[in-house]
Structure 1
Protein backbone atom coordinates (compact mmCIF):
# COMPACT_ATOMS: atom_id res chain seq x y z
CA UNK A 1 0.00 0.00 0.00
CA UNK A 2 1.52 3.25 -1.18
CA UNK A 3 2.78 5.43 1.69
CA UNK A 4 -0.04 3.90 3.70
CA UNK A 5 0.50 5.81 6.95
CA UNK A 6 0.86 9.14 5.09
CA UNK A 7 -2.36 8.76 3.12
CA UNK A 8 -4.88 7.26 5.56
CA UNK A 9 -8.28 8.91 5.06
CA UNK A 10 -9.34 10.34 8.45
CA UNK A 11 -13.09 9.91 7.83
CA UNK A 12 -12.69 6.25 6.86
CA UNK A 13 -10.32 5.65 9.79
CA UNK A 14 -12.64 7.27 12.36
CA UNK A 15 -15.67 5.41 10.99
CA UNK A 16 -13.83 2.10 11.56
CA UNK A 17 -12.61 3.19 15.02
CA UNK A 18 -16.18 4.18 16.02
CA UNK A 19 -17.31 0.60 15.36
CA UNK A 20 -14.89 -0.63 18.04
CA UNK A 21 -14.82 2.30 20.50
CA UNK A 22 -18.03 3.48 22.19
CA UNK A 23 -16.49 6.17 24.43
CA UNK A 24 -17.04 9.63 22.86
CA UNK A 25 -14.19 11.20 24.82
CA UNK A 26 -11.75 8.60 23.51
CA UNK A 27 -13.06 9.04 19.95
CA UNK A 28 -12.45 12.81 20.17
CA UNK A 29 -8.95 12.19 21.51
CA UNK A 30 -8.12 9.82 18.61
CA UNK A 31 -9.57 12.34 16.12
CA UNK A 32 -7.40 15.11 17.63
CA UNK A 33 -4.38 12.82 17.44
CA UNK A 34 -4.98 12.19 13.71
CA UNK A 35 -5.37 15.91 12.97
CA UNK A 36 -2.43 16.96 15.17
CA UNK A 37 -0.37 17.96 12.13
CA UNK A 38 3.27 18.92 11.83
CA UNK A 39 5.37 22.04 12.20
CA UNK A 40 6.65 23.42 8.88
CA UNK A 41 8.86 26.55 8.86
CA UNK A 42 7.76 27.37 12.41
CA UNK A 43 4.05 27.12 11.59
CA UNK A 44 1.71 24.31 12.60
CA UNK A 45 -0.13 22.69 9.69
CA UNK A 46 -3.15 20.57 10.53
CA UNK A 47 -3.04 17.12 8.93
CA UNK A 48 -5.91 16.46 6.53
CA UNK A 49 -4.89 12.84 5.98
CA UNK A 50 -2.35 10.33 7.25
CA UNK A 51 -1.35 9.24 10.75
CA UNK A 52 1.54 10.61 12.85
CA UNK A 53 4.59 8.35 12.53
CA UNK A 54 6.26 6.66 15.50
CA UNK A 55 3.22 6.60 17.77
CA UNK A 56 2.41 3.47 19.82
CA UNK A 57 -1.24 3.79 18.73
CA UNK A 58 -0.32 3.56 15.02
CA UNK A 59 -0.30 -0.28 14.71
CA UNK A 60 -3.69 -0.44 16.46
CA UNK A 61 -5.20 2.16 14.11
CA UNK A 62 -3.86 0.39 11.01
CA UNK A 63 -5.20 -2.96 12.22
CA UNK A 64 -8.63 -1.42 12.92
CA UNK A 65 -8.70 0.14 9.44
CA UNK A 66 -7.54 -3.02 7.66
CA UNK A 67 -9.73 -5.39 9.69
CA UNK A 68 -12.38 -5.16 6.94
CA UNK A 69 -9.76 -6.29 4.41
CA UNK A 70 -8.83 -9.28 6.59
CA UNK A 71 -12.49 -10.27 6.85
CA UNK A 72 -12.97 -9.89 3.09
CA UNK A 73 -9.98 -12.16 2.43
CA UNK A 74 -11.23 -14.72 4.97
CA UNK A 75 -14.72 -14.63 3.42
CA UNK A 76 -13.17 -15.41 0.01
CA UNK A 77 -11.24 -18.33 1.54
CA UNK A 78 -7.77 -16.89 0.82
CA UNK A 79 -4.64 -17.76 2.76
CA UNK A 80 -2.83 -14.54 3.58
CA UNK A 81 -0.30 -12.84 5.84
CA UNK A 82 -0.62 -9.18 6.77
CA UNK A 83 1.58 -7.11 9.04
CA UNK A 84 0.48 -3.45 9.20
CA UNK A 85 0.44 -2.39 5.52
CA UNK A 86 2.45 -5.36 4.16
CA UNK A 87 0.23 -8.04 2.64
CA UNK A 88 0.88 -11.39 0.95
CA UNK A 89 -2.00 -13.49 -0.45
CA UNK A 90 -1.41 -17.12 -1.45
CA UNK A 91 -3.34 -18.58 -4.40
CA UNK A 92 -3.06 -21.67 -6.61
CA UNK A 93 -2.12 -20.13 -9.96
CA UNK A 94 -0.82 -17.00 -11.67
CA UNK A 95 -4.24 -16.50 -13.21
CA UNK A 96 -5.87 -16.58 -9.75
CA UNK A 97 -3.16 -14.22 -8.52
CA UNK A 98 -3.89 -11.62 -11.19
CA UNK A 99 -7.63 -11.86 -10.56
CA UNK A 100 -7.23 -11.52 -6.77
CA UNK A 101 -4.77 -8.64 -7.09
CA UNK A 102 -7.20 -6.71 -9.29
CA UNK A 103 -10.11 -7.43 -6.95
CA UNK A 104 -8.23 -6.52 -3.73
CA UNK A 105 -6.71 -3.37 -5.28
CA UNK A 106 -10.22 -2.27 -6.24
CA UNK A 107 -11.51 -3.07 -2.72
CA UNK A 108 -8.71 -1.11 -1.00
CA UNK A 109 -8.99 1.93 -3.23
CA UNK A 110 -12.80 2.13 -3.38
CA UNK A 111 -13.84 0.98 0.10
CA UNK A 112 -10.90 2.03 2.30
CA UNK A 113 -9.55 4.92 0.17
CA UNK A 114 -6.05 3.40 0.34
CA UNK A 115 -3.71 3.71 -2.66
CA UNK A 116 -1.99 0.47 -3.68
CA UNK A 117 1.67 0.76 -4.68
CA UNK A 118 1.56 -1.04 -8.04
CA UNK A 119 5.36 -0.82 -8.45
CA UNK A 120 5.86 -2.94 -5.34
CA UNK A 121 2.82 -5.18 -5.88
CA UNK A 122 3.31 -8.28 -8.00
CA UNK A 123 2.12 -11.79 -8.68
CA UNK A 124 4.94 -14.33 -8.30
CA UNK A 125 5.72 -17.88 -7.23
CA UNK A 126 5.98 -18.40 -3.46
CA UNK A 127 9.64 -19.46 -3.63
CA UNK A 128 10.52 -16.24 -5.50
CA UNK A 129 8.74 -13.95 -3.03
CA UNK A 130 9.79 -12.55 0.32
CA UNK A 131 7.25 -11.98 3.08
CA UNK A 132 8.36 -9.81 6.03
CA UNK A 133 12.01 -10.71 5.44
CA UNK A 134 11.45 -14.44 4.85
CA UNK A 135 11.28 -16.79 1.86
CA UNK A 136 8.80 -19.65 2.22
CA UNK A 137 10.52 -22.80 0.98
CA UNK A 138 8.85 -26.24 1.19
CA UNK A 139 6.89 -25.31 4.34
CA UNK A 140 10.04 -23.81 5.90
CA UNK A 141 10.98 -20.19 6.42
CA UNK A 142 14.32 -18.89 5.20
CA UNK A 143 15.63 -15.45 6.14
CA UNK A 144 16.32 -13.41 3.00
CA UNK A 145 19.93 -12.73 2.01
CA UNK A 146 19.27 -8.97 2.05
CA UNK A 147 18.23 -9.14 5.73
CA UNK A 148 21.38 -11.13 6.57
CA UNK A 149 23.57 -8.60 4.70
CA UNK A 150 21.97 -5.69 6.56
CA UNK A 151 22.44 -7.55 9.84
CA UNK A 152 26.16 -8.06 9.19
CA UNK A 153 26.62 -4.43 8.13
CA UNK A 154 24.95 -3.24 11.35
CA UNK A 155 27.18 -5.56 13.41
CA UNK A 156 30.27 -4.03 11.78
CA UNK A 157 28.96 -0.53 12.44
CA UNK A 158 28.32 -1.22 16.13
CA UNK A 159 31.66 -3.06 16.50
CA UNK A 160 33.81 -0.21 15.11
CA UNK A 161 36.50 0.84 17.55
CA UNK A 162 36.59 4.53 16.65
CA UNK A 163 33.09 5.28 17.98
CA UNK A 164 34.25 6.79 21.28
CA UNK A 165 32.22 4.40 23.45
CA UNK A 166 33.56 1.89 25.96
CA UNK A 167 33.94 -1.83 25.22
CA UNK A 168 31.23 -2.56 27.81
CA UNK A 169 28.75 -0.20 26.10
CA UNK A 170 29.60 -1.63 22.69
CA UNK A 171 29.12 -5.17 24.01
CA UNK A 172 25.73 -4.19 25.50
CA UNK A 173 24.57 -2.61 22.20
CA UNK A 174 25.76 -5.62 20.20
CA UNK A 175 24.06 -8.09 22.51
CA UNK A 176 20.79 -6.13 22.48
CA UNK A 177 20.81 -5.84 18.67
CA UNK A 178 21.68 -9.52 18.10
CA UNK A 179 18.99 -10.72 20.53
CA UNK A 180 16.34 -8.53 18.87
CA UNK A 181 17.32 -9.58 15.35
CA UNK A 182 17.55 -13.29 16.21
CA UNK A 183 14.18 -13.28 17.97
CA UNK A 184 12.58 -12.17 14.68
CA UNK A 185 14.79 -13.56 11.90
CA UNK A 186 16.71 -16.36 13.65
CA UNK A 187 13.95 -18.90 13.04
CA UNK A 188 14.51 -18.65 9.31
CA UNK A 189 18.29 -19.13 9.35
CA UNK A 190 19.83 -22.24 7.89
CA UNK A 191 22.07 -24.02 10.42
CA UNK A 192 25.30 -23.07 8.61
CA UNK A 193 24.26 -19.40 8.52
CA UNK A 194 23.39 -19.50 12.22
CA UNK A 195 26.80 -21.00 13.05
CA UNK A 196 28.56 -18.41 10.86
CA UNK A 197 26.73 -15.55 12.61
CA UNK A 198 27.29 -17.08 16.04
CA UNK A 199 31.05 -17.56 15.59
Structure 2
Protein backbone atom coordinates (compact mmCIF):
# COMPACT_ATOMS: atom_id res chain seq x y z
CA UNK A 1 0.00 0.00 0.00
CA UNK A 2 1.42 3.34 -1.01
CA UNK A 3 0.88 6.69 0.67
CA UNK A 4 0.56 10.01 -1.09
CA UNK A 5 2.28 12.98 0.52
CA UNK A 6 0.57 16.36 0.53
CA UNK A 7 2.75 19.43 0.23
CA UNK A 8 1.65 22.57 2.02
CA UNK A 9 2.56 25.71 0.11
CA UNK A 10 2.47 29.37 1.09
CA UNK A 11 1.49 30.71 -2.34
CA UNK A 12 -1.65 32.88 -2.13
CA UNK A 13 -4.76 31.32 -3.60
CA UNK A 14 -6.25 33.93 -5.95
CA UNK A 15 -9.37 32.18 -7.24
CA UNK A 16 -12.28 31.16 -5.04
CA UNK A 17 -11.75 27.57 -3.97
CA UNK A 18 -14.59 25.15 -3.44
CA UNK A 19 -15.42 24.99 0.24
CA UNK A 20 -16.27 21.39 1.10
CA UNK A 21 -17.60 19.93 4.33
CA UNK A 22 -14.15 18.47 4.99
CA UNK A 23 -12.65 21.96 4.66
CA UNK A 24 -15.19 23.43 7.08
CA UNK A 25 -14.82 20.67 9.66
CA UNK A 26 -11.03 20.76 9.48
CA UNK A 27 -10.94 24.53 9.87
CA UNK A 28 -13.27 24.44 12.88
CA UNK A 29 -11.52 21.53 14.57
CA UNK A 30 -8.89 23.77 16.15
CA UNK A 31 -9.60 26.89 18.28
CA UNK A 32 -6.74 28.86 16.74
CA UNK A 33 -8.12 28.37 13.23
CA UNK A 34 -11.55 29.39 14.46
CA UNK A 35 -10.05 32.57 15.93
CA UNK A 36 -8.27 33.38 12.66
CA UNK A 37 -11.48 32.83 10.72
CA UNK A 38 -13.45 34.97 13.17
CA UNK A 39 -10.99 37.86 12.97
CA UNK A 40 -10.85 37.86 9.17
CA UNK A 41 -14.62 37.57 8.74
CA UNK A 42 -15.12 40.42 11.20
CA UNK A 43 -12.58 42.88 9.78
CA UNK A 44 -12.45 41.80 6.10
CA UNK A 45 -8.97 43.34 5.65
CA UNK A 46 -5.39 42.12 5.42
CA UNK A 47 -3.64 41.83 8.76
CA UNK A 48 -0.04 41.30 9.82
CA UNK A 49 0.62 37.89 11.31
CA UNK A 50 2.13 39.53 14.38
CA UNK A 51 -1.07 41.49 15.04
CA UNK A 52 -3.20 38.42 14.39
CA UNK A 53 -1.04 36.34 16.74
CA UNK A 54 -1.52 38.91 19.51
CA UNK A 55 -5.31 38.76 19.06
CA UNK A 56 -5.32 34.96 19.03
CA UNK A 57 -3.07 34.81 22.09
CA UNK A 58 -5.41 37.17 23.96
CA UNK A 59 -8.47 35.09 23.14
CA UNK A 60 -6.95 31.73 23.98
CA UNK A 61 -5.48 32.97 27.25
CA UNK A 62 -8.66 34.84 28.27
CA UNK A 63 -6.96 38.21 28.51
CA UNK A 64 -6.61 41.46 26.57
CA UNK A 65 -4.13 42.27 23.82
CA UNK A 66 -2.42 44.75 26.14
CA UNK A 67 -1.79 42.06 28.77
CA UNK A 68 -0.56 39.31 26.44
CA UNK A 69 2.93 38.20 27.43
CA UNK A 70 5.80 37.81 24.96
CA UNK A 71 5.79 34.06 25.57
CA UNK A 72 2.07 33.77 24.80
CA UNK A 73 2.43 35.90 21.67
CA UNK A 74 5.44 33.94 20.38
CA UNK A 75 3.66 30.63 21.01
CA UNK A 76 0.63 31.75 19.01
CA UNK A 77 2.80 33.30 16.27
CA UNK A 78 4.83 30.12 15.85
CA UNK A 79 1.72 27.91 15.60
CA UNK A 80 0.02 30.23 13.12
CA UNK A 81 3.10 30.85 10.98
CA UNK A 82 4.28 27.26 10.79
CA UNK A 83 1.06 25.25 10.90
CA UNK A 84 -2.35 26.86 10.70
CA UNK A 85 -1.95 29.67 8.17
CA UNK A 86 -0.19 27.51 5.54
CA UNK A 87 -2.91 24.86 5.89
CA UNK A 88 -5.74 27.39 5.66
CA UNK A 89 -4.02 28.97 2.64
CA UNK A 90 -3.79 25.59 0.95
CA UNK A 91 -7.51 25.01 1.54
CA UNK A 92 -8.31 28.35 -0.07
CA UNK A 93 -9.84 29.89 3.07
CA UNK A 94 -7.22 32.64 3.34
CA UNK A 95 -4.42 34.19 1.31
CA UNK A 96 -1.17 33.97 3.23
CA UNK A 97 1.97 35.79 2.09
CA UNK A 98 4.73 34.20 4.14
CA UNK A 99 7.45 36.57 2.96
CA UNK A 100 5.48 39.69 3.91
CA UNK A 101 3.96 37.95 6.97
CA UNK A 102 0.49 39.15 5.95
CA UNK A 103 -2.78 37.23 5.83
CA UNK A 104 -6.07 38.27 4.27
CA UNK A 105 -9.46 36.65 3.66
CA UNK A 106 -9.79 34.85 0.35
CA UNK A 107 -12.75 35.00 -2.01
CA UNK A 108 -14.01 31.76 -0.48
CA UNK A 109 -14.22 32.87 3.14
CA UNK A 110 -17.79 34.16 2.83
CA UNK A 111 -18.87 30.66 1.80
CA UNK A 112 -18.31 29.64 5.41
CA UNK A 113 -21.30 31.60 6.60
CA UNK A 114 -22.70 29.72 9.52
CA UNK A 115 -22.98 29.98 13.22
CA UNK A 116 -21.85 27.60 15.90
CA UNK A 117 -24.86 26.40 17.86
CA UNK A 118 -23.37 25.68 21.26
CA UNK A 119 -25.88 24.05 23.57
CA UNK A 120 -25.11 24.81 27.24
CA UNK A 121 -25.74 22.27 29.94
CA UNK A 122 -29.43 21.88 30.92
CA UNK A 123 -30.46 23.49 27.64
CA UNK A 124 -31.88 22.10 24.40
CA UNK A 125 -31.09 22.67 20.71
CA UNK A 126 -33.41 24.85 18.66
CA UNK A 127 -35.01 22.01 16.71
CA UNK A 128 -36.36 20.66 20.00
CA UNK A 129 -37.83 24.05 20.87
CA UNK A 130 -39.60 24.21 17.50
CA UNK A 131 -40.82 20.63 17.92
CA UNK A 132 -42.28 21.56 21.31
CA UNK A 133 -43.84 24.70 19.86
CA UNK A 134 -45.40 22.62 17.10
CA UNK A 135 -46.81 20.12 19.59
CA UNK A 136 -48.31 22.91 21.71
CA UNK A 137 -49.80 24.50 18.59
CA UNK A 138 -51.46 21.23 17.55
CA UNK A 139 -52.81 20.68 21.05
CA UNK A 140 -54.19 24.23 21.18
CA UNK A 141 -55.82 23.78 17.78
CA UNK A 142 -57.51 20.54 18.90
CA UNK A 143 -58.72 22.12 22.13
CA UNK A 144 -60.21 25.00 20.16
CA UNK A 145 -61.74 22.77 17.49
CA UNK A 146 -63.42 20.51 20.07
CA UNK A 147 -64.39 23.53 22.23
CA UNK A 148 -62.89 21.91 25.31
CA UNK A 149 -62.25 25.33 26.84
CA UNK A 150 -65.33 27.55 26.63
CA UNK A 151 -64.65 31.01 25.28
CA UNK A 152 -61.47 30.05 23.45
CA UNK A 153 -62.28 31.37 20.00
CA UNK A 154 -60.47 30.45 16.78
CA UNK A 155 -59.34 34.07 16.44
CA UNK A 156 -57.73 34.03 19.87
CA UNK A 157 -56.09 30.69 19.12
CA UNK A 158 -54.71 31.99 15.84
CA UNK A 159 -53.35 35.07 17.60
CA UNK A 160 -51.61 33.00 20.28
CA UNK A 161 -50.05 30.71 17.69
CA UNK A 162 -48.90 33.64 15.54
CA UNK A 163 -47.28 35.46 18.45
CA UNK A 164 -45.70 32.23 19.70
CA UNK A 165 -44.10 31.43 16.35
CA UNK A 166 -43.04 35.03 15.70
CA UNK A 167 -41.55 35.49 19.18
CA UNK A 168 -39.60 32.23 18.98
CA UNK A 169 -38.28 33.01 15.50
CA UNK A 170 -37.31 36.53 16.56
CA UNK A 171 -35.34 35.27 19.55
CA UNK A 172 -33.75 32.53 17.42
CA UNK A 173 -32.61 35.13 14.90
CA UNK A 174 -31.12 37.25 17.70
CA UNK A 175 -29.17 34.36 19.21
CA UNK A 176 -28.07 33.13 15.76
CA UNK A 177 -26.21 36.40 15.19
CA UNK A 178 -24.52 36.00 18.56
CA UNK A 179 -23.13 32.57 17.64
CA UNK A 180 -22.08 33.44 14.09
CA UNK A 181 -18.38 33.68 13.33
CA UNK A 182 -17.38 37.27 12.58
CA UNK A 183 -20.39 38.85 14.27
CA UNK A 184 -19.69 39.36 17.99
CA UNK A 185 -16.56 41.08 19.25
CA UNK A 186 -15.10 37.83 20.58
CA UNK A 187 -15.32 34.38 18.93
CA UNK A 188 -18.66 32.71 19.74
CA UNK A 189 -17.07 29.49 20.98
CA UNK A 190 -14.58 31.24 23.28
CA UNK A 191 -16.31 30.48 26.58
CA UNK A 192 -16.79 26.84 25.58
CA UNK A 193 -13.23 26.04 24.50
CA UNK A 194 -12.09 23.61 27.15
CA UNK A 195 -8.40 24.52 27.35
CA UNK A 196 -6.48 27.83 27.59
CA UNK A 197 -4.72 27.11 24.30
CA UNK A 198 -5.00 24.41 21.69
CA UNK A 199 -2.51 21.62 21.11
CA UNK A 200 -1.70 21.52 17.44
CA UNK A 201 -1.55 18.42 15.29
CA UNK A 202 2.25 18.37 15.28
CA UNK A 203 2.38 18.37 19.10
CA UNK A 204 3.33 22.03 19.41
CA UNK A 205 1.21 24.35 21.52
What's the TM-score, normalizing by structure 1?
A: 0.22
Q: RCO (CA 8 Å, sep 6+): is it higher in 1 or 2?
A: 2
Higher strand share: 1
Q: Of the two, which has the highest radius of gyration? A: 2
What's the TM-score, normalizing by structure 2?
A: 0.21
